[in-house]
Amino acid sequence: MARITYFLFCVSLALQLIFFYTSMAKPATFYDDFHITWSETHIKQMESGTAIQLLLDQSSGCGFASKMKYMYGRVSMKIKLIPGDSAGTVTAFYMNSDTNLIRDELDFEFLGNRSGQPYTVQTNIFAHGKGDREQRVNLWFDPATEFHTYSILWNRHHIVFSIDDIPIRVYKNNEAKGVPYPNSQPMGVFSTLWEADNWATRGGLEKIDWTKAPFYAYYRDFDIEGCTVPGPAGCTTKTNNWWEAPSYQQLDPIQARKYRWVRLNHMIYDYCKDKSRYPVPPRECLAGI
């Protein structure tokens, strides 16, 4: 009985200490993990630094990046996109190895549109310097009225792009079948708001209406969980990180059902099915990913 009482006392004390240190901890701010990469005057901190506003006008867009690079993990942000007529604008959230010749990159690109038309999300994957793996999905909600969570899970088994925990794209590790997979370079987290009316909306047919400027996008709740590089040895092979657990190595049945729903009802472009670009489908398409 004495041992049980002592054990319960220890558990109670540990819980109190956890609560104390958690309650004393400050919420993460933008500058804890990120720095501005260009046009500092166009990024404004809000909500005591836990949120930011990005601005695009005729003089400049803007961008920011994480202070560290990561080897596998998950990154997520809540974003509220440009409202109304956003044609020709691109709000991008992505991971990048920041290596010019042979780069790895995982892209979320939000392509603006004319008022009343749905926002399009383009995803792309660069592995060992090769990209051109675009897929496009029309959003089933208005992403400018409230915040939604956009996340990228990257581990040794697959890459999953998700919106509000709904998978919209999965890219499996099929290196055994000769398909390149980003697994040799750490990546930083980046975001930009910029003008791209030469291609972003209807292939460049819709131009930015600068009478609607300035354009604003908002970010908050920055969350990066990954193996920091430079950091502990064994980042590339460590198996005890939560993102490498068996439950994260493939979609569960509920996620798989949501994934099929997105692809059946909201996908508008898949490079794997673009026979004009690829008369012979790329190898990863033949691998069933």
Asked whether residue 14 is assigned to any structural domain, the reply reads no
Contact 54, 220 (CB under 8 A): no
Averaged pLDDT, 130-134: 94
Averaged pLDDT, 20-24: 34
Structure pTM?
A: 0.87
Instruction: Please tell me the total count of domains within the chain.
Output: 1
Q: Write the CATH number for 229.
A: 2.60.120.200
Q: Which of 201, 271, 197, 234 is nearest to 72 (CA)?
A: 234
E strand segments, 146-210: 148-154, 158-163, 166-172, 188-195
Segments forming the whole domain that contains residue 93:
27-286
Phi/psi for 144 (5° steps) reads -100, -10
Query: Does the structure show a pLDDT above 60 at 27?
Result: no
Cα radius of gyration rounded to whole Å, the chain? 21
pLDDT in tens, 80-126: 999 999 999 999 999 999 887 799 999 999 999 998 889 999 999 99
Asked whether residue 123 is assigned to any structural domain, the reply reads yes
Asked whether residue 155 is assigned to any structural domain, the reply reads yes
Kindly state the tokens that stand for 242: 């939560």
Distances from the Cα of 217 to the Cαs of 63, 103, 176, 201, in angstroms?
A: 11, 27, 41, 17
Average per-residue pLDDT for the chain: 88
Asked whether residue 13 is assigned to any structural domain, the reply reads no
pLDDT at 237: 53
Of the listed ranges 57-66, 138-147, 188-197, 228-237, the one predicted with least confidence: 228-237
pLDDT in tens, 156-215: 999 999 999 999 999 999 999 999 999 999 999 999 999 999 888 888 888 999 999 999
CA distance 117 to 144: 12
Asked whether residue 103 is assigned to any structural domain, the reply reads yes
Among 40, 109, 225, 284, the active-site one is 109
Active site residue 109: yes
**Bridge partners of 191?**
64, 93
Asked whether residue 199 is assigned to any structural domain, the reply reads yes
Asked whether residue 8 is assigned to any structural domain, the reply reads no
Phi/psi for 49 (5° steps) reads 90, 0
Contact 227, 238 (CB under 8 A): yes
Q: Where are the alpha helices (DSSP H) in 55-152?
A: none
What confidence tier does 21 reach under pLDDT thresholds 50, 70, 90?
very low
**Bridge partners of 52?**
45, 219
pLDDT at 22: 34
Averaged pLDDT, 242-263: 96
Query: Does the structure show a pLDDT above 80 at 272?
Result: yes
CA distance 167 to 256: 8
β-pairing verdict for 188-195 and 215-229: unpaired
What confidence tier does 240 reach under pLDDT thresholds 50, 70, 90?
low
The amino acid at residue 237 is T
pLDDT at 236: 53
Strand ordering across the sheet containing 215-229? 43-46, 51-56, 215-229, 69-80, 148-154, 158-163, 166-172
Q: Which of 160, 123, 164 is nearest to 141 (CA)?
A: 164
Asked whether residue 3 is assigned to any structural domain, the reply reads no
pLDDT at 20: 34
**Following DSSP, what letter does each residue of 44-86 receive, concatenated?**
EEEGGGTEEEEEE-SS--EEEEESSEEEEEEEEEEEE---S--
Query: Does the structure show a pLDDT above 90 at 56?
Result: yes
Between 22 and 76, whose confidence is greater?
76
- Longest Cα–Cα distance of the chain, Å, equals 78
pLDDT at 239: 52
Among 40, 47, 105, 206, the active-site one is 105
Helix (H, G, I), strand (E, B) or coil at 176: helix
Active site residue 195: no
